[in-house]
Amino acid sequence: MIRVMSVVGARPQFIKAAVVSRAMAQTGAIAESMVHTGQHSDFNMSQVFFDELRLPAPAHHFDLGGGTHAQQVGGMLPVLESVMTSERPDWVLVYGDTNTTMAGALSAAKLAIPVAHVEAGLRCFNPAVPEEINRVVTDRVSSLLFAPTATAVNNLRAEGFTESSVRLVGDVMYDAALSLSSVAERTSTIAHETGLDRGDFILVTIHRQENTDDPEKLSAILDALQALAADIPVVLPLHPRTRQRLAELGRSGAGRDGLKLLPPLSYFDMLALLKRARLVATDSGGLQKEAYFFRVPCVTLRAETEWVELVERGWSRLCEPVSAGIVVDCIRKTLSVPLPSEPDTADALYGSGKASFNIAQILVRETERRNSLPNACRS
């Protein structure tokens, strides 16, 4: 059996791992061991996803969240090194662009264990963004680069990666959306419970450091949402970091002005609201794509995005939240323009919904290829 150690720690990684883990199990050739760093340890950001997505309990579960970036990554490295040294997997599989991603990749690379990176090649080209650093470092030490889009492949080629290491597989989040949206419709009651079952509302998520840790930007976003809420309902599920920052600004009671604040939502509840929303405003990478999957226009509350194809095709509008007026104007303009003309499916951008299957099959084939080589040639 091929031994794959999957390293996860944050909400988006649980969703991606759910579909990839299922595909690996279906090969009958891969035995997976999952490590949860605890980067997200809050129940609504972690355990609810394991329960809802029927992910098996991690073989190793730590509590390594909190602190600065250096403290978080520094705490993860020796723990992950110990687990990998003990188990010596054939592959370490990492997802996305979090501190967990980079720590997992670095730990494996230092032990000469090959790394496979899901969502390789994404770039926003702003080195001040923590996630960009994580992406670049992870890609550089990975042996297999699972690119979700042609743009990601081109980025990797431009950086000099060998063709044999780069594989265009499609987007695993598209897999999840296709396979799980109908389940969300059957099981989620969030729309009815919140009175949003008729639709016509704005769904907002804010969690990235450049917004939450900048009081002026966070205040501008909140002021804009409160202004918009006078005309159309605005729903904001609060990431724990965002809730803490609002409390520090003395604005934890923001919902009194018509803005509906919710706790972090499960994946099914988020899908249920997303499909009913009139517009999404977010700084999340994943939600930008999910909005596109269900043809919901999106305002991306950042100066740049790694999902550039959505901006180029008119499905996402970039809006750096430097003032409330700018955010309000951007959202109102987006609400007033028609949606772009697009095919019925997202296949052209994000694959055919078989990214997880592609990843599992490549891991099997690549392991067989590596095992046929002399030890000195396995790299």
The DSSP secondary-structure symbol of 19 reads H
Cα–Cα nearest to 20, from 230, 220, 174: 174
What span, in angstroms and rounded, lies between the C-alpha atoms of 368 and 346? 32
Instruction: Check if 239 is active-site.
Output: no
Q: Per-residue b/e over 294-318, b at no fewer than 16 CB within 10 Å?
A: eebbbbbbbeebbbbbbbeeebbbb
Sequence-separated (6 or more) residues with CB below 8 Å from residue 365: none
115-118/144-147 β-pairing? parallel
Do 104 and 60 form a contact (C-beta atoms < 8 A)? no
Hey, which residues does 377 pair with through a beta bridge? Answer: none
- Which residue type occupies 69? H
**Active-site pick, 36, 40, 207, 239:** 207
- Which residue type occupies 95? Y
What span, in angstroms and rounded, lies between the C-alpha atoms of 362 and 318? 35
DSSP H/E element including 69 = helix 69-87
Residues known to be catalytic: 207
